[in-house]
Amino acid sequence: MGSKYIAYLPRYVRLEDGRRYGIPLSMIMRGLRDSVFVVRIPSDEVDDAAIGLIRRGFKQTSLALNKGELYSLTKRVYEPWELHVRIFNNGYVESEIEVDRDYLQHLTGPRFNVIYEAYEALKGFTSYRRICIKPLGECINDVIENVGIELRAPRVLIPWKPLVAAASSMLLIPILSKVQLPNILGNGFAGQ
């Protein structure tokens, strides 16, 4: 497929206390494994945020590793990428862009922590939204400059559902060949 996704993330920011801060690229690149950026919303508005995202086309997923979130929601951004948003009861919202879970490559990546996508998706569903730098425990007042991180989809994407269907069929054929099904036509149902 060769599709790419460019994730834009804060690089130089002004923190809530007014200090300017350059986020080290090494910290930003931890987004391959962990959530560096989170959106903070009021904890008493978590349910409203989830309902709003579902109205915007997000779907609840059970095919995810639970990190303690109340809601695990996904939405296809464009082929083959999906946005995965996790909403926690403390009002923290983590998000990542990843290969859609329709493909086996969803399990192995690539995936990356993103922030603006979730921030924009939450617009109108909460009384406030703040972008925070999780490792620092501080929120951003103003973004001065962004950095773009390019993710490339695997060249070949393997849908897992047809594989499961084929494997199931292959397992059922020997079982069904040993089972004698009643001859419906021979039991007097045809023409009597």
Calculate mean pLDDT across residues 78-96: 94
For residue 82, the tally of other CB atoms under 10 A from its CB is: 23
Residue 106, pLDDT > 80, answer: no
Reported as a pLDDT band with limits 50, 70 and 90, residue 98 is confident
Of the candidates 55, 31, 150, 137, the residue with the CA atom closest to the CA atom of residue 90:
137
Average pLDDT over the chain reads 84
Q: Model's pTM, two decimal places?
A: 0.79
Write the pLDDT tens digit of every residue in 6-50.
999 999 999 999 999 999 999 999 988 899 999 999 999 999 999
* Cα 177 to chain centroid, rounded: 42
Confidence at residue 161, expressed as pLDDT on a 0 to 100 scale = 56
Say yes or no to pLDDT of 164 above 70: no
Beta strands in 33-191 (DSSP E): 37-40, 59-60, 71-78, 81-87, 92-99, 111-113, 130-133, 138-152
Structure tokens, 192: 């009597």
